[in-house]
């Protein structure tokens, strides 16, 4: 495996997914802009990594790049590496990629109604995944599909196997999506806002289910969400993205209790809290800049409370706060060492 230099204390699992300097560009109005602009992070085996950010930060495009599903045109992966279990996904042929997709890496989406095919039964849609990746008889596939439905907590799995998506509630559909996602026992599950469209009591059921499945299988999870509460409950480590870049990365406890980047601080302060009354919320002023619209300086400078002259002139590098914690902000310039991302691999282990 490549780099274990930034392994969390107590975690020495090998790296499963290693993204380096990923750049994804989209063409719009005759101009090509970087939507994901030099992102690097790793996911270890059996780890749950949270990716947090608001709309337009590039979190969903990052996951599409991993799956090899960036729509081209208008988009293209313009640079970087995505290594998955020692293969570079960006150079794989389409037929090899198809073997990985759904089998070794699978994905579940926010809106289960739009990702399930309304004209096929639930059973047929799970069977399809099993048939694509394994040579199973129809009877064996049916048996395994029903077992999967049972595993994700669906009551009367035999009856649901023959039902259509519209006959199920939102929570049930999301369970079916998870069953499809996990049918081939993938090594990495990408969950893109899997509970955002659900009610809180159903969200609690689904999160509980995902925790249980994670603990009983060896699946690593990349959990994309805008909800810091969900991150706190589910993730081991967190990457915070803003305008196509990683601005902070830390183990979940550090992210919440030793927050470094002003954007992460702003996000936390702007969340209303059901467990205590805040008189007024902190609101990050302004809005996320359009891709390619910040010509120089820090992309967050315009909205930042702690902005300095330097922030408007020069883009800050990532600074190493400690072994496992990085933050992209000039505030750390006097106290911490910057990381040269390209050189990370050669850096001596601390």
Residues lying near other proteins in the complex (CB under 8 A) = 54-55, 169-172, 199-205, 207-208, 226-233, 252-253, 256-257, 266-268, 270-275, 277-278, 280-285, 287-288
CA–CA separation, 1 and 272 (whole Å): 42
Minimum CB separation of residue 290 from other proteins in Å reads 10
For residue 32, list its beta bridge partners.
Answer: 27
Closest CB to other proteins among 131 and 211?
211
Closest CB to other proteins among 130 and 172?
172
Closest CB to other proteins among 127 and 236?
236
- The residue length of the chain stands at 350
Minimum CB separation of residue 305 from other proteins in Å reads 12
Minimum CB separation of residue 137 from other proteins in Å reads 34
Question: In this structure, are residues 270 and 283 in contact, taking their beta carbons and an 8 Å threshold?
Answer: yes
CA–CA separation, 211 and 183 (whole Å): 16
Q: In what order do the strands lie in the sheet with 87-88?
A: 31-44, 15-28, 75-84, 87-88
CA–CA separation, 246 and 17 (whole Å): 16
Minimum CB separation of residue 172 from other proteins in Å reads 8
Q: Which run of H or E residues covers position 49?
A: strand 48-52
Closest CB to other proteins among 147 and 271?
271
Kindly give the pairing relationship between strand 220-225 and strand 105-108: unpaired
264 in the Ramachandran plot: left (φ > 0), alpha (ψ -120 to 50) or beta?
Answer: alpha
Closest CB to other proteins among 164 and 282?
282
Minimum CB separation of residue 76 from other proteins in Å reads 26
Closest CB to other proteins among 149 and 288?
288
Minimum CB separation of residue 272 from other proteins in Å reads 4
């Amino acid at each position: 495996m490549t780099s274990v230099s930034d392994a969390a204390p107590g975690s020495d699992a090998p790296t499963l997914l290693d993204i380096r300097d990923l750049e994804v560009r989209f063409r719009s109005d005759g101009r090509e802009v970087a939507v994901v602009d030099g992102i690097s992070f790793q996911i270890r085996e059996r780890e749950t990594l949270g990716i947090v950010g608001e709309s337009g930060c590039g979190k969903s495009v990052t996951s599409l790049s991993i799956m090899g599903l960036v729509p081209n045109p208008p988009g293209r992966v313009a640079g970087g590496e995505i290594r998955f279990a020692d293969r570079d996904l960006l150079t794989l042929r389409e037929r090899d990629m198809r073997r990985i997709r759904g089998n070794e890496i699978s994905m579940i989406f926010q809106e289960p109604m739009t990702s399930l095919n309304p004209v096929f039964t639930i059973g047929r849609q799970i069977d399809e995944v099993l048939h694509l990746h394994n040579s199973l008889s129809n009877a064996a596939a049916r048996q395994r599909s029903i077992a999967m439905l049972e595993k994700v907590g669906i009551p009367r799995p035999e009856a649901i196997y023959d039902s259509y998506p519209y006959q199920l509630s939102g929570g049930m559909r999301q369970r079916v999506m998870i069953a499809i996602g996990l049918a081939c026992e993938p090594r990495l599950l990408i969950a893109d806002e899997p509970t955002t469209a659900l009610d809180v009591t159903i969200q609690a059921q689904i999160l509980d289910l995902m925790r249980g499945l994670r603990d009983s299988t060896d699946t690593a999870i990349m959990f994309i969400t805008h909800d810091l509460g969900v991150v706190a409950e589910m993730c081991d480590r967190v990457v915070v993205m803003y305008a196509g870049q990683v601005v902070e990365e830390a183990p979940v406890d550090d992210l919440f209790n030793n927050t470094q980047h002003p954007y992460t601080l702003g996000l936390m302060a702007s969340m209303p809290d059901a467990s205590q009354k805040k008189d007024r919320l902190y609101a990050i002023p302004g809005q996320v800049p359009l891709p390619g619209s910040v010509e120089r300086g820090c992309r967050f400078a315009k909205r930042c409370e702690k902005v300095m002259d330097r922030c408007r002139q020069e883009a800050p590098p990532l600074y190493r706060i400690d072994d496992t914690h990085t933050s992209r902000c000039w505030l750390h310039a006097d106290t911490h060492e910057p990381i040269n991302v390209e050189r990370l691999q050669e850096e001596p282990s601390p």
